[in-house]
């Protein structure tokens, strides 16, 4: 699945494209409702029903994922960083 997402972005955005904040939102929205794989993300809060992880999207751009504790499905996410920190944080080369 991860390979398919990366391939799609490489195809759509071509050579040396900087992802915008909107591109990042589109990519992260695709993870909602799917099993959450932390990939070393830091657990910052946990209660009876949710776990919250900080996820870094490029240099200086951070988001928080809220994950259902029982099902381990990503329920939502939100930006932790300011908008300027999440512009052009990732570059794909095709």
Which pTM value belongs to this model? 0.69
The pair of three-digit structure tokens given for residue 14, joined into one six-digit string: 């071509």
Beta-strand relationship, 17-18 and 74-79: unpaired
Domains in the chain: how many in total? 1
Tens digits of residue pLDDT in 23-80: 777 888 888 999 998 888 999 999 999 999 998 877 778 889 999 999 999 999 898 8
β-bridge partners, 54: 42, 64
Domain coverage including residue 7: 2-92
């Amino acid at each position: 699945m991860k390979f398919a997402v990366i391939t799609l972005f490489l195809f759509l955005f071509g050579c040396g494209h900087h992802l915008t904040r909107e591109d990042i939102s589109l990519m992260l929205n695709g993870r909602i409702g799917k099993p959450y794989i932390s990939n070393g993300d830091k657990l910052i809060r946990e209660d009876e029903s949710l776990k919250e992880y900080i996820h870094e999207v490029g240099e200086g751009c951070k988001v928080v994922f809220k994950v259902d504790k029982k099902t381990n499905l990503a329920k939502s996410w939100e930006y932790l960083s300011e908008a300027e920190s999440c512009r052009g944080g990732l570059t794909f080369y095709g």
